[in-house]
């Protein structure tokens, strides 16, 4: 049994260390490398990398606690695991809300507007609530008896009938509610981009609008792939804890910890591909990054000007058409 635990510790440590390195590198890229995508999109993706970094740190601490048999490390790992799971779920939901309501790629005129406080208003409550919920099992023995072994190593989730089971069930229910909300956002955004908002692009022949809408579609594709893999991991975690079957009960820690480590690596790889794609055609200077936004702003001003002078232009066009008809009829007659 000790050899099996050591093997689990080594496997989880290696995979989660790779995930940590990937997400740290991606955080630095998003902080110091200019992107052609709107800032709120970039910050929401940065939020995802931070969330998966927290989850990866929890997995590293789990592997160290298994190998070193340190209870303190196990408690710290449990906090970071729950904290990371909450942040990853909420980061996906935050990205969906931003794409759907704040900077919708189907409405190019809204992409030039950026309110920095929007990030703080959304992120700070999420981080505080996630931290409070994650620390509860380790500050209250009445809520969670830490002297009893966890079903999954260092992860405070327990099956029904055990002390602390209600807390674990509440966590899982919240995770699934968030995941379902993320799925709803994905479906609505996908339908808007691929079905309903294409006329905006075709009606206004602007290369920057076309580019931003195309980037929005690409971003949704990456998110959908990431979300599908993440849902499978949450499903595997739920089944390993709550399904009374030998396959799950005898391999609870293996299934949960390795799947969480793999999803962290997968997100890092997927995010790396996206970062390379979005920085490949820009970022040699600040002007190249700001140019799309200047083009869009200029287009907005042109719209305002046309809206104010539209009636005069229409009258002028009508007069011109009548003049051409009269001249054409005169020439035909003579």
Domain ranges for the chain: 2-283, 287-334
Rounded Cα distance between 223 and 170, Å, is 26
> Which residue is listed with tokens 């869009």?
296
pLDDT for the residue numbered 266: 94
CA 153 to chain centre: 27
Rounded Cα distance between 316 and 215, Å, is 39
- Model pLDDT for residues 127-174, shown as the tens digit of each residue: 999 898 888 877 766 666 666 667 778 887 766 666 667 777 888 889
Q: What is the pTM of this model?
A: 0.78
Token code pair at residue 227: 């979300």
Residue 21 has pLDDT above 50, yes or no: yes
Superfamily of domain 2-283 in the CATH hierarchy: Rhodopsin 7-helix transmembrane proteins (1.20.1070.10)
213 Cβ neighbours under 8 A, 6+ residues apart? 105, 106, 108, 193, 197, 200, 201
Rounded Cα distance between 275 and 35, Å, is 8
Per-residue confidence at 80, pLDDT binned at 50, 70, 90?
Answer: very high
Residue pair 163/142 in contact by the 8 Å Cβ criterion = no
- Model pLDDT for residues 275-314, shown as the tens digit of each residue: 888 776 554 444 444 555 555 555 545 554 445 445 455 5
């Amino acid at each position: 049994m000790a050899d099996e635990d050591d093997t689990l510790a080594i496997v989880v440590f290696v995979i989660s260390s790779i995930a940590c390195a990937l997400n740290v590198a991606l955080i630095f890229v998003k902080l110091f490398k200019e992107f052609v995508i709107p800032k709120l999109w970039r910050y929401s993706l940065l939020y995802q990398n931070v969330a998966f970094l927290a989850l990866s740190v929890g997995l590293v601490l789990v592997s160290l606690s298994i190998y070193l048999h340190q209870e303190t490390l196990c408690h710290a790992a449990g906090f970071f695991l729950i904290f990371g799971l909450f942040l990853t779920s909420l980061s996906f939901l935050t990205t969906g809300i931003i794409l759907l309501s704040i900077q919708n790629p189907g409405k190019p005129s809204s992409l030039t507007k950026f309110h920095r406080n929007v990030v703080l208003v959304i992120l700070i409550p999420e981080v505080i609530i996630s931290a409070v919920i994650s620390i509860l099992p380790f500050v209250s023995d009445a809520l969670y008896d830490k002297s009893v072994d966890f079903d999954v190593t260092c992860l405070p989730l327990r099956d029904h009938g055990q002390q602390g089971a209600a807390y674990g069930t509440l966590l899982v229910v919240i995770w699934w509610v968030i995941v379902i909300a993320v799925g709803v956002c994905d479906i609505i955004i996908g339908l808007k981009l691929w079905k309903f908002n294409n006329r905006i692009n075709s009606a206004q022949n602007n290369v920057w609008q076309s580019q931003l809408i195309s980037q929005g579609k690409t971003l949704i594709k990456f998110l959908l792939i990431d979300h599908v893999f993440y849902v499978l991991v949450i499903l595997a975690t739920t089944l390993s804890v709550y399904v009374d079957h030998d396959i799950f009960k005898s391999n609870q820690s293996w299934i949960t910890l390795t799947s969480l480590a793999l999803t962290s690596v997968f997100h890092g790889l997927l995010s790396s591909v996206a970062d390379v794609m979005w920085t490949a055609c820009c970022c040699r200077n600040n002007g190249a990054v700001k140019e799309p936004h200047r083009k869009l702003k200029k287009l907005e001003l042109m719209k305002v000007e046309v809206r104010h002078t539209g009636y005069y232009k229409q009258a002028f066009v009508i007069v011109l058409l009548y003049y051409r008809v009269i001249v054409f009829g005169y020439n035909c007659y003579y």
